[in-house]
Structure 1
Amino acid sequence: MSGLHAERLTVQLGKATVLHDVTLAVPSGWTAIVGPNGAGKSTLLRCLAGLLTPRSGEVRLDGRPLARHTPRERAQRIAWLAQQGEATGELSSREVVQLGRLPQLGLFAEPGPRDHAIVQQAMADAECEAWAERRLHELSGGERQRVLLARALAVDAPFLLLDEPTTHLDPPHQVALVRLFQRLARERTVVSVLHDLSLALQADHLVVMQAGRVRAVGPAGDDEVHARLQEVFGHALRIERIGERFVAIPYLD
């Protein structure tokens, strides 16, 4: 069984149970995980990435428990972008992106022409070539976010997990990121946690969460998924179709 699957995940942080018996088969394409604050979105994503061990249940990668894959195997198959990336260090932006090749190369192998081409393409996709020689801590929040995204892209992994990838990005770059995810999803599985519902609605699939549980999974244009989405936000918004796209509009009446 190929793909990424969560099976009956329960996660407890301190005394709080933040995931309750969550089962999810991650579909191919681009999936956006959405829900109100405290829904368990980032916790679920961290479990899928192997960064958080559940109290019960397991994540399976290509039919094997994720815990049985070596750290390098996981790093080769799953690329990760954290919600708050690091901002210190003396490496240039290009050198930071090149770190994304480590899972494929190991610590001691020299990068070859293919590796350099992948790094170059990742920086072009993330639109951060202009500051390739600047140090990470010298960049603005949005610039830094694009470099860290490029590092994740440079892994060239079949699964790309992104926690709030639009953080610090202005609207034009958010739109560019949506288009990038739509393109990447043709050849790999992209899973992103997003707070901006109108951006999330451009994904192929939505996972709607509330209070540590999955309330709905389905195509982003599905009426039932929209109904659950409006419900978990207390009907404070409505989903409307504008042209070929759906958008979330605050309900102020």
Structure 2
Amino acid sequence: MLSARRLQVRLGDRTVLRDIDLDFGPGWTAIVGPNGAGKSTLLRALAGLQPLEHGEVRLDRAPLADWPAPQRARRLAWLAQQGEAGGDLTVIDVVRLGRLPHLGLFGLARGRDEQAVRQAMQATGCTAWRHRRLAELSGGERQRVLLARALAVQSPVLLLDEPTTHLDPPHQVALVRQMARLARQENRTIVAVLHELSLALAADRLVVMAAGQIHAIGQPGDPLVQRTLVEVFGGAIRIEAVPVSAGATEAAAAAAEVQWVALPRL
């Protein structure tokens, strides 16, 4: 369980988050809203990477700040919006970095660590180029490697800031399916900031933000959530239901017989 109480963040003379109260249990939550809404700042605050003016983040009911760094790193994994790693490292070595919190006193990897690395690379489709250097990869390929590094942690809580950046549509859909699988089959807590609203509408729950505040929380099919989502984007989008096909996401198929999509209002 990850929770936030009365979070407030100020950057310079501007309050960018105001009185945020949230609880995250097993399942996957998408945080959405227009540019400048405070989505990434909120995610950084939940990860313990953003100083707070006041309020508190708790992990498993204990203040996040009280967790020793190694234990916190095993319980909570983080993918930044512009994730980076050394360009001279090979793909497999970058993914192995995700296992650092689990290594023993002498930093020696065990069989289960290598298994976690292999599973993460398979899940993100980067096994074939595991021996290539990160600097040789395209933007989309690099993003898949950084996703694999976060997945390799195998943490109960996974925070992802714009994880679909640089990914083409098939890999965006694969990521959504992966998040749904982790949430449902492995009982993990997934929180993702997403700009692609149609992908976000496949989540178990939406948090709709604008101007540093939460305007709605609920399931994607909730009429109030949908109405609020349209409002925070100034009426520039419309939300429609399409029938679930054989290739639809597991999240949509589990929720209903329709899949919600966001379209521009031209």
Band the TM-score falls in, shorter-chain normalisation: over 0.9
Identify the residue that residue 129 of structure 1 maps to in structure 2. Answer: 127
- Alignment TM-score, normalising by the size of structure 2: 0.92
Any conservation in 2 of the 1:87–1:137 contact (CA below 8 Å)? no
Deviation digits for residues 124-176 of structure 1 (CA, Å, limit 9, x no counterpart): 00111111001111111000000000000000100010000000001111111
Give the Cα separation in 1 of the matches to 2:15 and 2:135.
36
Change (3 A) 1:135 1:202: same
Deviation digits for residues 40-59 of structure 1 (CA, Å, limit 9, x no counterpart): 00000001111112110010
Any conservation in 2 of the 1:79–1:157 contact (CA below 8 Å)? yes
Change (3 A) 1:107 1:235: farther
Change (3 A) 1:107 1:141: farther
| Superposition RMSD in Å | 1.1
Give the Cα separation in 1 of the matches to 2:85 and 2:93.
14
Give the Cα separation in 2 of the matches to 1:88 and 1:221.
42
Give the Cα separation in 2 of the matches to 1:86 and 1:168.
14
Any conservation in 2 of the 1:235–1:251 contact (CA below 8 Å)? yes
Identify the residue that residue 239 of structure 1 maps to in structure 2. Answer: 239
1:106 is displaced (CA, Å) by 4.7
Give the Cα separation in 1 of the matches to 2:134 and 2:15.
36
Give the Cα separation in 2 of the matches to 1:41 and 1:121.
29
Identify the residue that residue 54 of structure 2 maps to in structure 1. Answer: 56
1:251 is displaced (CA, Å) by 1.3
Any conservation in 2 of the 1:123–1:129 contact (CA below 8 Å)? yes
Matched, 1:20 2:18: yes
Matched, 1:203 2:203: yes
Give the Cα separation in 2 of the matches to 1:121 and 1:107.
24
- Whichever residue aligns with residue 152 of structure 2, its letter is A
1:87 is displaced (CA, Å) by 4.9
Identify the residue that residue 164 of structure 2 maps to in structure 1. Answer: 166
Q: Which runs of 5+ in 2 are unaligned?
A: 244-257
1:222 is displaced (CA, Å) by 1.2
Any conservation in 1 of the 2:85–2:94 contact (CA below 8 Å)? no
**How do residues 70-85 of structure 1 correspond to structure 2 at under 5 angstroms?**
70-85=68-83
- Whichever residue aligns with residue 220 of structure 1, its letter is P
Structure 1 segments of 4+ aligned residues over 3 angstroms from their partners: none
- Whichever residue aligns with residue 222 of structure 1, its letter is D
Percent identity between matched residues is 64
Matched, 1:97 2:111: no
- Whichever residue aligns with residue 209 of structure 1, its letter is M
Identify the residue that residue 227 of structure 1 maps to in structure 2. Answer: 227
1:82 is displaced (CA, Å) by 0.6
- Greater shift after overlay, 201-210 or 65-74? 65-74
Identify the residue that residue 254 of structure 2 maps to in structure 1. Answer: none
Look up the SS of the partner of 1:190 in the other structure: strand
Give the Cα separation in 2 of the matches to 1:96 and 1:34.
29
- Whichever residue aligns with residue 175 of structure 2, its letter is L
Change (3 A) 1:106 1:35: farther
